[in-house]
Structures are given as C-alpha cells and as structure tokens.
Amino acid sequence: MSRTTSRHRRVSRVQAARTGNDVALAERRALASPATIGDLGEQRAGDDALRASEHLHRSIVETLDEGIMVQDLDGRVIAFNKSALRILRLSAEQLEEGSSYRPLLPLIHEDGSPFHGHEHPGMISLRTGEPQSGVIMGVVQPDGETRWISINSRALFRVGESTPYAAVGSFSDVTAHRRTLAELHAARLEDLKRLALVGEYRDDDTNRHTERVAYTAALLARKLGLNDDTSLMIRRAAPLHDVGKIGISDTILLKPGKLTGDEFDAMKAHTSIGGRILGESDFRVLQMATEIALTHHERWDGTGYPYRLRGEEIPISGRIVSVADAFDAMTHARPYKQAFPVARAVAEIERCSGTQFDPGVVAAFLTLDHEALVDTA
C-alpha cells in the first residue's frame, strides 16, 4: 500500500496495515507489551515476524489488479494501492486531497445523476456495517470521458468493537465491459427493427407503421402510469406486433376489400405465428413482444382472437397496442384501402370503448395530440 501523505507519515504504517488480515496483526501488536512478553529477544523476533507479515500482505495488495482504497469515517482516503491510482487516473497526492464528501472528480450514477457522499458504498458500509457489492459509479475525467467502476466495500472493525472505524473498498474498471454491452444492446435493438420490417415489408416497406404504433403505445403506457421501464419495453416490443404476417399469403394480406370467412381465419393466424417466432426467449423485450403479438387482436368484450380473452385478462401491453394499431391503420392508406380523416378515426376509437378497446386506454388516448401521432414517422 502506498503512503498517503507526508503529514500522515508517522501513522501511515498502521493505516497501511489496516486491510484484511493486517488489521488483526496491528491489533495484536497493540495488545502485546514488554511486560507481558518479558524477554526483549522474543519481542524483537515478534516484531521481525510482524514486519515480514506486513510486508507480505502489502505485497499481495500491490499485486492486485483491482484498486484497493481504505477510507476513514470522514470519507478521506487513508490507504490505497497502485491499481487504485491507475484505475482512477489520479496521483497519490490527488487521491488524498479529496474525500467521498468532497470528490476530486465528479462522480455519477448510471443515469448521470450526481453521486452524493452519503451514497458512496464505503460510507454506507461505515454507517450500516453492511457490505456493499457491485455498485456502479462513473468517474468523470477532466477531458469529459467517464470511466465506470464497479465497487465492493466492507466496514472494518477493531477487535472487540462493534462500530466500524474505516471501510475498505475494492474496485475494477468496467468501462470497456459496459461499452461492449452497449454495442450488443444497440445491435439487438437493430435486429428487432429489422425483424419488424420483415413482418410489414409487403404493405409497409419503410417500418413507419410499426414505429408509429410503438411511439403511440409508449405515450399511452406513460399516460396510464406504467413505470419507465415497462413503457420503454413496450416502445421496443410494439413494432413486432405483426411479425407473424410473414406467414400470411399475399392473396390474403394484400387483398382489396373484405376477406372471406376462411381468409379472415387464415389472417388471424398472424398472432399465433408471431407468438411462435418471438416466443420462448430469455430476453424481456422479446417476452413482451410475444405477449403483444399474441394479444393485440383480443377485444375488451371477449370476442377477439386468438384466445377470446376478456377485460383485464388481456395484458395491458396488448390492450395498449390494440388502440395504437387500430388508430394508425385507420389514418394511413394501404395498397388495399384509403385513409380515414383523423377526427373520424378518433371517433371510431371512442365508439369502440368498452367493446373492442379497454375504456381506460381509450380515455388516455383521447388526451393525446392525434394529428401529431399521424405524422410521427
């Protein structure tokens, strides 16, 4: 462990020893006195053994790729290893200048909000005595780049005491790992968009219908008070609602005018085909997409398809996309039909409240800017 400051040099050996097993060794040395040992030779041998042990432990800490930092009750860094300086890109002098309550560099949460001193995992461990694991913290560098670290912390207790006197934190740089995950995530979303295009290609080769439905569905989700996570999931899953149309023949899908009974039965199968294409995935967004594909043609009064679900038996995602899909289909022309004026489409949605559509979703829909929805994409 590095020495912390020149002004703390006198106590730095004890401070540096206060990690892991060194704590016990430091305590043992404090408890041992010449009066109890009696023999100066024995004492010297004990000191030598202690020094050797300290040296060993310090060497081990310095070989770690993880940063190690010990903080006192005020959040000041009182000991650290070289990896801590490398990961934080700080000098020893800089590290010892700051504290959790007065960080040298801005610290942020994953959502970009500032990391306050009392939220620092080391400070939480000191306050509660409880270990903290896998806390992600962003360290904003002077050039604006954010380095992301994952921190574990534990409180340190003196022998026989129940109140911690310091916290030891270990941390690693997860910036590259996060970048890779972000790229994978973006690639997956891109794949989903292309998959949505596959379903719509024959009558909407631009993805615009699916994107408009998803946009309206996300607005409805928020209006209905669904949390941000669920709203975002609906936003990403909704474009896939008709992916099962890939299994429907052109003669039915693009037929101008009314479908025969048999043709309509065949058309209905796009829900279950979509469910099979998207189903049994471990990804939450695909699980949501499966739910939507299967239920966006169910009706509030129980006369929809494929399961004839009724009312709240229909997942909220399906009830929302049902309204968004119907409005968009009515307000846009397809090769086989004309577009309705917006006011007429809104009136039709309102008319079908309580029969085809969930009245709560329709009430939320009526508060939206409908003209803007038509021009979303």
Q: In what order do the strands lie in the sheet with 107-108?
A: 77-80, 67-72, 166-173, 146-156, 132-140, 107-108
Residue closer to Fe ion, measured from CB, 107 or 240? 240
Question: Residue 108's CB: how many other CB atoms inside 10 A?
Answer: 17
Cβ at position 263, least distance to Fe ion in Å: 15
Contact window for Fe ion (CB under 5 A) among 189-197, 224-232, 241-249, 315-323: 241-249
- The residue annotated as part of the active site, out of 245, 255, 268, 337, is 245
Write the binding mask 44 to 73 for Fe ion: x where contact by CB under 5 A, - elsewhere. Answer: ------------------------------
Contact window for Fe ion (CB under 5 A) among 9-17, 238-246, 331-339, 364-372: 238-246
Residue closer to Fe ion, measured from CB, 242 or 328? 242
Cβ at position 167, least distance to Fe ion in Å: 56
Contact window for Fe ion (CB under 5 A) among 8-16, 63-71, 173-181, 242-250: 242-250
Q: Give yes or no for residue 204 binding Fe ion (CB under 5 A).
A: no
Could you tell me which of 73, 74, 93, 95 has the C-alpha nearest to residue 171?
95
Q: Which two tokens stand for residue 248?
A: 């429907």
Instruction: State the helix-helix crossing angle for 342-351 and 359-366, rounded to 10 degrees.
Output: 150
> What does the alpha-carbon distance between residue 343 and residue 360 come to, in Å, rounded to a whole number?
20
Residue choice 242, 298, 328, 358 for contact with Fe ion (CB under 5 A)? 242
Looking from the CA of 226 toward its CB, the CA atoms found within 13 Å total: 21
Told to judge if 82 belongs to the known catalytic residues of this protein, a careful annotator would answer: no
Cβ at position 230, least distance to Fe ion in Å: 21
> What does the alpha-carbon distance between residue 155 and residue 169 come to, in Å, rounded to a whole number?
9
Contact window for Fe ion (CB under 5 A) among 60-68, 159-167, 235-243, 309-317: 235-243
Whole-number Cα distances in Å, 310 to 120, 303, 306, 314: 49, 8, 12, 6
> What does the alpha-carbon distance between residue 63 and residue 66 come to, in Å, rounded to a whole number?
9
Cβ at position 317, least distance to Fe ion in Å: 14
N-terminal to C-terminal alpha carbon distance within the chain: 58
Residue closer to Fe ion, measured from CB, 18 or 296? 296
Question: Residue 344's CB: how many other CB atoms inside 10 A?
Answer: 12
- Torsion angle, alpha carbons of 100, 102, 104, 107, to 10: 60
Peptide bond into 306 cis (omega under 30): yes
Q: Which two tokens stand for residue 232?
A: 């975002």
Cβ at position 293, least distance to Fe ion in Å: 8
Residue closer to Fe ion, measured from CB, 173 or 298? 298
- The β-bridge partners of 73 are none
Contact window for Fe ion (CB under 5 A) among 50-58, 223-231, 236-244, 350-358: 236-244
Residue whose Cβ sits closest to Fe ion: 242
Cβ at position 249, least distance to Fe ion in Å: 16
> What does the alpha-carbon distance between residue 306 and residue 325 come to, in Å, rounded to a whole number?
17
Residue closer to Fe ion, measured from CB, 242 or 358? 242
Q: Is residue 255 within 8 Å of 336, Cβ to Cβ?
A: yes
Count of residues interacting with Fe ion (CB under 5 A): 1
Cβ at position 221, least distance to Fe ion in Å: 18
Residue closer to Fe ion, measured from CB, 126 or 289? 289
Q: What residues numbered 261-300 form the site for Fe ion, per CB under 5 A? A: none
Residue closer to Fe ion, measured from CB, 242 or 298? 242
Residue closer to Fe ion, measured from CB, 200 or 242? 242
Contact window for Fe ion (CB under 5 A) among 22-30, 208-216, 237-245, 311-319: 237-245
Question: Residue 291's CB: how many other CB atoms inside 10 A?
Answer: 23
Cβ at position 312, least distance to Fe ion in Å: 21
Q: What residues make contact with Fe ion under the rule CB under 5 A?
A: 242
Active site residues: 245
